[in-house]
């Protein structure tokens, strides 16, 4: 009899390998980003079918602005293309979409589209999808502390108060982190929230990451004994 998998409630994914996937096929890097963007919806459907409740993608970091200007522009155009149909697709799939990160650096039209998407999908009850755009965990923590000081006028802050001022304030911490394409580092992603998450690294590049690969990651997670710093009796 097949053992029932323990399904993580929240999976965070670092989408790595778009450019390398394209290069391996003799294609421009931007083709890899396009294919990677398309794969987001595929993995959303797979996650929902598995029973995952929250899925958070690392799409564009605060450091990604340092990439070649042409590549950054193409990534912003991909985001614009996604936003054109995002509300319709989110409501069709009963999916709530939220953006984490400092969106104030984005162009005004993108900021407006993001706010419209979040408002239009806020009552959906299916998969919760978060996309990290212009996101860096250190930046997030600094912004959270500054928000707290602005609100409370105090210099003392507790863990609970800091958590309540993060971009992910009402979202449970991830149970599982997946990073694609073979790299094994956090790259300034959800440093606070991943304190007790299980990590899973795969050499599969993001554009090629499939439902089968997601199931393998969940199976690996399911086989682990999560201790949360506690010693369990043998």
pLDDT in tens, 140-163: 999 999 999 998 887 789 999 999
16 belongs to the catalytic site? yes
Can you list the domains of the chain with their CATH numbers? 10-222 (3.40.1180.10)
- The mean predicted confidence, pLDDT, of the chain is 94
CA 126, CA 124: separation in Å to the nearest integer?
Answer: 6
Burial class of residue 118, CB neighbours in 10 A (0-12, 13-18, 19+):
middle
Partners of residue 61 on adjacent β-strands: 135
Report the alpha-carbon distance of residue 85 to residue 99 in Å, rounded: 16
Question: What is the predicted pLDDT for the residue at 166?
Answer: 98
- The residue with greater pLDDT, 85 or 231, is 85
Count Cα atoms within 13 angstroms, Cβ side, for 168: 27
User: Which residue of the set 30, 64, 123, 150 is catalytic?
Assistant: 64
Is the pLDDT at 10 greater than 70? The verdict is: yes
pLDDT tens for 55-106 read 999 999 999 999 999 999 999 999 999 999 999 999 999 999 999 999 999 9
Checking if the pLDDT of 3 tops 80, the result is no
Q: Starting at the earlier edge strand, list the strands of the sheet with 96-100.
A: 96-100, 128-135, 54-61, 10-14, 176-179, 198-201
Q: Mind listing the pLDDT tens digit for each residue in 26-57?
A: 999 999 999 999 999 999 999 999 999 999 99
């Amino acid at each position: 009899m097949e053992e029932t998998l323990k399904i993580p409630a929240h999976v965070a994914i670092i989408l790595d390998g778009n450019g390398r996937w394209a290069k391996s096929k003799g294609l421009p890097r931007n083709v890899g980003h396009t294919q990677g963007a398309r794969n987001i919806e595929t993995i959303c459907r797979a996650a929902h079918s598995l029973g995952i409740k929250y899925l958070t993608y690392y799409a564009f970091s605060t450091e990604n602005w340092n990439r070649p200007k042409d590549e950054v522009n193409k990534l912003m155009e991909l985001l614009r293309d996604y936003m054109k149909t995002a509300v319709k697709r989110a409501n069709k799939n009963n999916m709530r979409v939220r953006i984490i990160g400092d969106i104030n650096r984005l162009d005004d039209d993108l900021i407006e589209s993001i706010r419209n998407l979040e408002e239009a999908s806020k009552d959906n009850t299916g998969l919760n999808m978060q996309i990290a755009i212009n996101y860096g965990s250190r930046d997030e923590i600094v912004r959270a502390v500054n928000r707290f000081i602005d609100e409370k006028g105090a210099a003392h802050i507790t863990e609970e108060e800091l958590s309540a001022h993060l971009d992910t304030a009402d979202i449970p911490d991830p149970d599982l982190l997946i990073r694609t394409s073979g790299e094994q580092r956090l790259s300034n992603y959800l440093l606070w929230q991943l304190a007790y998450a299980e990590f899973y690294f795969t050499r599969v590049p993001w554009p090629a990451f499939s439902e089968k690969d997601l199931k393998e990651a969940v199976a690996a997670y399911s086989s682990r004994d999560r201790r949360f710093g506690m010693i369990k009796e043998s």
